[in-house]
Chain A
Amino acid sequence: MSIWKKALATAAVATTLMAQSAAAQDVKIAIVVKALGIGFFEAAAKGAEEAAAELGDVEIIYTGPTDTTAEGQIEVINSLIAQGVNAIAVSANDKDALVPTLQKAMERGITVISWDSGVAPEGRMMHLNPSSNALIGNTIIKLAADNLPEGGDVAILSASATATNQNIWIEEAKKVLPNYPGINLVATVYGDDLADKSYREAQGLMATYPNLKAIIAPTTVGILAASQAVTDAGKIGEINVTGLGLPSEMAGAVASGATKSFAIWNPIDLGYAATMISYNLVKGNATAEPGAAIGMGRMGTATLDDANEAAMSDPFTYDASNIDAFKSIF
């Protein structure tokens, strides 16, 4: 073998090694969502990619189970631990079921945060709420009350009866009810985030409460199914469907008048902020402890409370005046 060939081979090996070590320095951040194929989370993934592009040395792994189960998420997280990611940012299907797996991840030095739907404190370093729960609870009642100057019966159509975030919002909503005299919450039903079950539950509400004036659905599947049920029942104008939804999905309901207004935080911002926080924790720019302020790039800073939770921003209201501008975004 000539000396040239040897030199070339050495150079090739060295280059490969260098390339590998450069790749290894990339911060791998896994965004684990409740289930793939949900518009809200697809938008959050866009935000995560935006943050990655801004930071430069970040690789985003967007993943999740195909249905909204804790078992599915545990499998996904186990495989992420095996892949040796640097951070896991998860929106949990179950508050407690993920804790042991996430603790295992933290023991191996992986930064673990939860966002959107939280994990119990022992299973994560911090939790990023899209907004404060109190603000969301107030917003969903206010949305209904704004269109009911004389008051009336309202009902809540939730996702599954065990969904962490849904239950907290409903609890907060009930707390502020006394501030809205005349608004009478008659029932809370559960559509399990299935279009057909939510539709049926909405039909049930209309049948059970003939004086119902508003259905509040703090879930994107539920608000859409309820709007459709109200439209099919010919009760547009009589019953207002409101709650939390995505502009792209709700455009039809707003145009038909089944929904006068609804709210949501910007999921792109949420994915962006979760990525920024994960990055800062991995890099040691901040520590997750009560009182700490962690940078979220263009979203400002998140200040942790005693339970290591932070709120991103206020929910934003969409109605006929602004929906056209947002429906093509998310």
Chain B
Amino acid sequence: MSVLKSREALLALAILVAIGIIAMRFPAFVAPGNLANVFNDTAPLMLLAIGQMIVILTKCIDLSVAANLALTGMVAALMNGAGMPLPLILCAVILLGAALGAVNGVLVWKLGIPSIVVTLGTMTIYRGTIFLMTAGKWVNAHEMTDGFKALPRLVILGLPVMSWIAIAAVLIFAVVLTRTALGRAFYAVGGNAHAAVYAGIDVGRTQFWAFVMSGALAGFTGYLWVARYAVAYVDVAGGFELDVVAACVIGGIAIAGGAGSIWGAMLGALFLGVIKNALPVVGISPFWQMAISGTAIILAVAFNAAQSRPKGRLILREAAQ
């Protein structure tokens, strides 16, 4: 029973049920090859959701992740065009992503501006920067080298590298969040900032590191995204930040901070990924698709809210008696 009460287990169950329903209309969806495809397609969302989750844990939000992804992706494509080697590009995108995240972090930490305002601003600035760098020009498949495009597609043990990267990131950050002082500080800061200060944790600096990690993940995903779709332009991943936040919310990450697990973020991303990949094959009108995605989000959040409510009431009632 306690297993059923865990949010992660319920979400996993919901994903399985969804896959089952889809399979009734379109049996080929459950073929192992297709499920691997769905997982691979969801990998970028998972990577960003991990970063977003860390930021949300500290009671902040990072709306600039998709713009960060687009900017670093464009830089990666331009560096490739200039003939730079792939390892250098990979280091550069992670560093640049982290630097862009650090800008958010510093503004939140040193100036105390609410994160939603800071990242709303930097989101626009980062997209504008791509426009300034390229004057609106696209970088297309034939302008990228084969090696640059091949890395995310390279298949190891039946899964493309992009999927393995997402799996590795989940495992690494699972350890970071549960086994390191900084990881625990993320929870402490979001759970109770005052208590965190008394425990000797610098709230602002912890939030700063959350933004840096989110940025670094977004930067790395930028390369993967551009290499996978073989195109880089201003509007890459437009509106994707909302999917990322939705994945976290569905995964049971408390938007008020301090609660949630990396497995939740991963499953939340997978849930959205399954729906996104299923809608084209089950033949639902495009006018319904958005409504269906939206309903899934609201249902998941309503369910989470309903699940966490009784606890508090129960204690109060007992205290009154």
Closest to B128 in A: A66
Of the listed stretches B192-200, B231-239, B252-260, B304-312, chain A binds B231-239
B230 pairs with A228, CB closer than 8 A: yes
- Give complex CA distance A140, B125 in Å: 39
Chain B interface extent, by class:
35 or more
- A189 with B280: CB separation less than 8 A: yes
Closest to A220 in B: B138
Cα distance A109–B56 when bound, in Å? 52
Once A224-B140, A248-B140 are accepted as A-B contacts, the answer to whether A204 and B286 lie under 8 Å apart by CB is: no
A190 beta carbon closer than 8 Å to chain B: yes
Chain B residues near A196: list those with CB within 8 A: 225, 229, 237, 240
Give complex CA distance A77, B231 in Å.
30
Q: For residue A161, which residues in chain B have a CB less than 8 angstroms away from its CB? A: 285-287
Binary contact track B8-28/A, C-beta < 8 Å → 1, others 0: 000000000000000000101
User: How far does the alpha carbon of A190 sit from the alpha carbon of B288 in the complex, in Å?
Assistant: 12
**Which among A11-19, A36-44, A288-296, A305-313 touches the partner chain?**
A36-44
Q: B142 within 8 Å of A by Cβ? A: yes
Q: B130's closest neighbor in chain A, by CB?
A: A37
Complex CA distance for A228 and B29, rounded to whole angstroms: 21
Which residue of the partner chain A has the closest CB to B276? A200
Interface string of B263-293 (1 = CB under 8 A from A): 0000000000000110011010111000000
Query: Bound complex: CA of A256 vs CA of B134, how far in Å?
Result: 26
Residue from B41, B153, B234, B238 in contact with A36 in the complex, judged by beta carbons closer than 8 Å:
B234
Whether B184 is near chain A, meaning CB under 8 Å from some CB there, is no
Interface string of A241-282 (1 = CB under 8 A from B): 000000011111101100000000000000000000000000
B173 within 8 Å of A (CB atoms): no
With the chains together, A207 CA to B25 CA distance in Å? 13
Q: Verify B280–A201 contact, CB threshold 8 A.
A: yes
Closest to A195 in B: B229
- CB-CB < 8 A to A248: which residues of B? 138, 140
| Contacting residue for B140 out of A189, A199, A200, A251, CB 8 A | A251
Does residue A225 face the partner (Cβ distance < 8 Å to B)?
Answer: yes
SS class of chain A's interface: helix, strand, loop or mixed? helix
Per-residue A-contact encoding for B109-153, CB less than 8 Å = 1, 0 else: 000000000000000000100110011111011110000000001
Are A203 and B141 in contact, CB atoms less than 8 angstroms apart?
A: no
Interface size on A, residues (CB 8 A): 38
B178 close to A (CB within 8 Å): no
Q: Is A25's CB within 8 Å of the partner chain B?
A: no
* Interface assignment of B6: CB less than 8 Å from any CB of chain A: no
In the bound complex, do residue B138 and residue A39 qualify as a contact, i.e. CB atoms below 8 Å apart? yes
A67 within 8 Å of B by Cβ? yes
Contact, CB under 8 Å: B138 / A35: no
Give the 6 A-B CB pairs with smallest separation, nearest first.
A204-B280, A252-B142, A252-B141, A37-B234, A37-B136, A190-B286
27 contacts between A and B (CB under 8 A): A37-B131, A38-B136, A39-B136, A42-B137, A161-B285, A161-B287, A189-B286, A190-B286, A195-B229, A195-B231, A195-B236, A196-B225, A196-B229, A196-B237, A196-B240, A200-B277, A204-B277, A204-B280, A207-B28, A208-B283, A224-B231, A225-B229, A228-B229, A228-B231, A248-B140, A252-B142, A253-B141
New contact pairs (19) apart from A160-B286, A189-B280, A249-B140, CB-CB < 8 Å: A35-B235, A36-B234, A37-B233, A39-B137, A42-B136, A195-B236, A196-B225, A200-B41, A200-B276, A203-B37, A203-B277, A205-B280, A208-B283, A224-B231, A252-B141, A252-B142, A252-B143, A252-B230, A255-B142
B contact residues vs A (CB 8 Å cutoff): 26, 28-29, 34, 37, 41, 127, 130-131, 134-138, 140-143, 153, 225, 229-231, 233-238, 240, 276-277, 280-281, 283, 285-287
